[in-house]
Amino acid sequence: MANNGGNLGWRRVVRAFGYSMKGFRACYELEEAFRQELFLLIPLVPLGLWLGETPVERALLVGSLLVVPIVELLNSAIEANVDRIGMERHELSGRAKDIASAAVFSSITLCVVIWALLLVPKLF
Q: Which residues are catalytic?
A: 72
Is the torsion defined by CA of 41, 43, 46, 47 positive or negative? Answer: negative
- 9 DSSP assignment: T
CA distance 44 to 64: 11
